[in-house]
Amino acid sequence: MKTSFDWKHLDFTDADDARWLRHESGVPDIVADALLNVDSRPRALQTDNGVLLILRGVNLNPGSDMEDMVSVRLWVEKNRIISSSRRHLISLNEISKKIEAGKGPQTVGEFVNTLVERLGDFITEATEKIEEVLDAAENELNDSAVIARNSPFSIARRQTARIRRYLAPQREALDRLSRITGPLFNEDDRARFSEQANHVTLVLEDIDLVRERAMVAQEEFLSIVAHEQNARMLVLSIVAAIFLPLSFLTGLMGMNVAGLPGLVNEWAFWILVVLMLIITAVILLLFRFKRWV
């Protein structure tokens, strides 16, 4: 089944694609600049000839971090769509396969909505994966060795921060898209854009909740680590407090000077041992009385 529009996808890092876009495509210069710009922020812009839409999707390419979000740019006219990206985007690939199979979107409005919905689905899946990792980390919160090695709370905070950086303006872009007037999109298209803007709002709320949970869990983990360190330091302090007077006593009695008491007394060693045991018992009783142990 043939669609009612032509779709051309470009790699904006390719010199031939960039040349065609600037000199042969017939799109306004401001649109060509936006489609070829290396850095982009999600936004929607309506002109007399069409709509410029820039979106972001999670990076699901092998060996990549999902929070390293992939940019996709669209120039939408009544009977034509030009898209551009630098990296592979699964959402666009799925749409292309559906069109080839005769089951794809039939209008530009359906195309944009299908793309927006798939991007939203993948972002939701990414958020759920972060939540699952955070749930597992919270269950192992008392195991400081596991937490310290993997640092899941810091990872979750970094991932959510990077995703949220683009989702907030993406919600604004979809909201603006839902209020665009003219024949390019019908009422059903605008209603679906509005629904997707609400969906992004819910995802943002989930991301904020995940970030808050990660912050609270990390603070609790640091508190547990500090408590464990304090317990270890207490043990070392007790050992040092016990052996400090004993070391002083053994050092004093071990001096090789004339007149040292006990040199000719065969019970001197055992008397010294008993004295040190008494000192140790007194120190331990003092610690117990002070509730330090």
- Average pLDDT per 10 consecutive residues for the chain, totaling 293 residues: 80 90 90 87 89 86 70 91 86 87 88 92 88 82 58 82 87 91 89 93 91 85 80 83 83 74 78 87 83 71
pLDDT at 275: 87
How many residues are recorded in the chain? 293
CB-based burial label for 144 (10 Å; 0-12, 13-18, 19+): middle
CA atoms within 13 A on the CB side of 117: 15
Cα(216)–Cα(281) distance, integer angstroms: 43
pTM of the model: 0.73
Asked if 225 contacts 167 with a C-beta cutoff of 8 angstroms, the reply is no
What are the residue ranges spanned by the domains of the chain? 6-227, 229-289
What's the CATH architecture for 229-289? Answer: Up-down Bundle (1.20)
Q: Do domains 6-227 and 229-289 have the same CATH topology?
A: no
The sign one gets for the Cα dihedral 167, 169, 175, 177 is negative
| Assigned token pair, 17 | 């694609």
Cα(94)–Cα(104) distance, integer angstroms: 9
pLDDT at 87: 77
β-pairing, 80-85 with 70-76?
A: antiparallel
Asked if 272 contacts 262 with a C-beta cutoff of 8 angstroms, the reply is yes
pLDDT at 40: 81
CATH for 6-227 is: 3.30.460.20
